[in-house]
Structure 1
Amino acid sequence: MFSELITLSALITAVLAGPIPTPKAGDVITGQYIVVMMEDITAPNFQAHRDFVVNKLGFVSKRDTVEAMAESTFTHTFNLGKLKGYSGRFDDATIEEIASRPEVAYVEADKIMTTQALVTQSNVPSWGLARISHRNQGLTTFVYDSSAGAGTFAYVVDTGVLTTHTQFDGRAEVGYNAISGESNADGNGHGTHVAATIAGSTVGVAKLASVIGVKVLNASGSGATSGIIAGINWLVSDAQGKSRIGRAVANMSLGGSYSASLNNAVAAAVSSGIPFIVAAGNSNANAANFSPASTFSAITVGATDGTDARASYSNFGSNLDVFAPGSSITSAWIGSNLSRNTISGTSMASPHVCGLAAYLMAYEGLKSPSAVINRIIELSTADVVTNPGSGSSNRLVYNGSRQ
Structure 2
Amino acid sequence: MLFKLSAVALFVASTAVAFPSWGNSDNLAPVISSSNADVVPDSYIVVFKDGVRANDHSAWAATLHKRDLTTNGIWDNIASGVKHVYDMGSFQGLAGRFRPDVLDEIRKHPDVDYIERDQLVYASEIKIQNRAPWGLARISHRKGLTLGTFNKYEHNPNGGDGVTVFVIDTGVNTDHIEFEGRASWGKTVPANDPDADDNGHGTHLAGLIGGKTYGVAKKVKLVSVKILSGNGSDITSNVIGGMDWVAAQAVAGKTVVNMALGGGKSKAIYDAAARLYAKNAPLFVAAGSSGDACNGSPSGALTAFTVGATDINDALSAFSAYGPCVEMFAPGRLRRVLRRYLSQGGLNTARSV
| TM-score, scaled to structure 1 | 0.74
Inter-partner Cα distance in structure 2 for 1:45 and 1:342:
49
- Quick check: 1:252–1:278 contact (8 Å CA) kept in 2? yes
> In structure 1, what is the equivalent of residue 263 of structure 2?
256
Map 1:134-153; keep pairs closer than 5 Å.
Answer: 134-138=141-145, 139=149, 140-153=151-164
- Quick check: 1:329–1:348 contact (8 Å CA) kept in 2? no
Task: Tell me how far 1:157 sits from its aligned partner.
Answer: 0.3
SS in 1 for 2:337: strand
Change (3 A) 1:175 1:20: closer
> In structure 2, what is the equivalent of residue 49 of structure 1?
60
Inter-partner Cα distance in structure 2 for 1:128 and 1:180:
37
Inter-partner Cα distance in structure 2 for 1:202 and 1:343:
15
Map 1:244-393; keep pairs closer than 5 Å.
Answer: 244-283=251-290, 285-332=291-338, 338-352=339-353
Inter-partner Cα distance in structure 1 for 2:215 and 2:26:
46
Task: Tell me how far 1:276 sits from its aligned partner.
Answer: 0.8
- Quick check: 1:54–1:70 contact (8 Å CA) kept in 2? no
Task: Tell me how far 1:287 sits from its aligned partner.
Answer: 1.1
Equivalent position amino acid for 1:322 in 2: M
Inter-partner Cα distance in structure 2 for 1:104 and 1:117:
35
For each residue in 1:303-346, what CA deviation from the matched residue of structure 2 results, as whole angstroms up to 9, or x when unmatched?
111221111121111111000011354322xxxxx434122321
For each residue in 1:265-288, what CA deviation from the matched residue of structure 2 results, as whole angstroms up to 9, or x when unmatched?
1111121121111111111x1111
Inter-partner Cα distance in structure 1 for 2:141 and 2:55:
55
Change (3 A) 1:208 1:20: closer
Structure 2: which 5+ runs fail to align?
Answer: 1-24, 72-76
Inter-partner Cα distance in structure 1 for 2:142 and 2:55:
55
> In structure 1, what is the equivalent of residue 14 of structure 2?
none
SS in 1 for 2:343: strand
Task: Tell me how far 1:96 sits from its aligned partner.
Answer: 2.6
Give 1:170's match in structure 2, choosing from 181, 205, 218. Answer: 181
Change (3 A) 1:133 1:77: same
**Is residue 2:116 matched to residue 1:108?**
yes
Give 1:28's match in structure 2, choosing from 8, 26, 39. Answer: 39
- Quick check: 1:41–1:103 contact (8 Å CA) kept in 2? yes
Inter-partner Cα distance in structure 2 for 1:216 and 1:51:
24
For each residue in 1:77-123, what CA deviation from the matched residue of structure 2 results, as whole angstroms up to 9, or x when unmatched?
1011111111111112221321232111000111111111233445x
- Quick check: 1:311–1:327 contact (8 Å CA) kept in 2? no
Inter-partner Cα distance in structure 1 for 2:316 and 2:28:
41
Task: Tell me how far 1:133 sits from its aligned partner.
Answer: 0.3
Change (3 A) 1:18 1:97: closer
SS in 1 for 2:319: coil
Change (3 A) 1:174 1:250: same
Inter-partner Cα distance in structure 2 for 1:127 and 1:119:
15
Inter-partner Cα distance in structure 1 for 2:258 and 2:183:
14
- Quick check: 1:137–1:307 contact (8 Å CA) kept in 2? yes
Task: Tell me how far 1:54 sits from its aligned partner.
Answer: 2.8
SS in 1 for 2:203: helix
Give the share of equivalent positions with the same residue, in percent: 34
Equivalent position amino acid for 2:340 in 1: S
Give 2:206's match in structure 1, choosing from 184, 191, 195. Answer: 195
Stretch moving more, 49-58 or 209-218: 49-58
Change (3 A) 1:94 1:183: same
Change (3 A) 1:48 1:206: same
Inter-partner Cα distance in structure 1 for 2:107 and 2:289:
33
Aligned length: 320
Change (3 A) 1:76 1:310: same
Inter-partner Cα distance in structure 2 for 1:162 and 1:177:
13
Map 1:4-15; keep pairs closer than 5 Å.
Answer: 15=28
- Quick check: 1:248–1:274 contact (8 Å CA) kept in 2? yes
SS in 2 for 1:319: coil
| TM-score, scaled to structure 2 | 0.84
Inter-partner Cα distance in structure 2 for 1:15 and 1:330:
53
SS in 2 for 1:85: strand
Task: Tell me how far 1:180 sits from its aligned partner.
Answer: 2.3
- Quick check: 2:31–2:114 contact (8 Å CA) kept in 1? no
Task: Tell me how far 1:253 sits from its aligned partner.
Answer: 0.8
- Quick check: 1:263–1:295 contact (8 Å CA) kept in 2? yes
For each residue in 1:46-82, what CA deviation from the matched residue of structure 2 results, as whole angstroms up to 9, or x when unmatched?
245324423442459xxxxxxxx89961111101111
Equivalent position amino acid for 2:267 in 1: A
Map 1:45-124; keep pairs closer than 5 Å.
Answer: 45-47=56-58, 49-59=60-70, 73-122=81-130, 124=131
Structure 1: which 5+ runs fail to align?
Answer: 1-11, 61-68, 333-337, 353-403
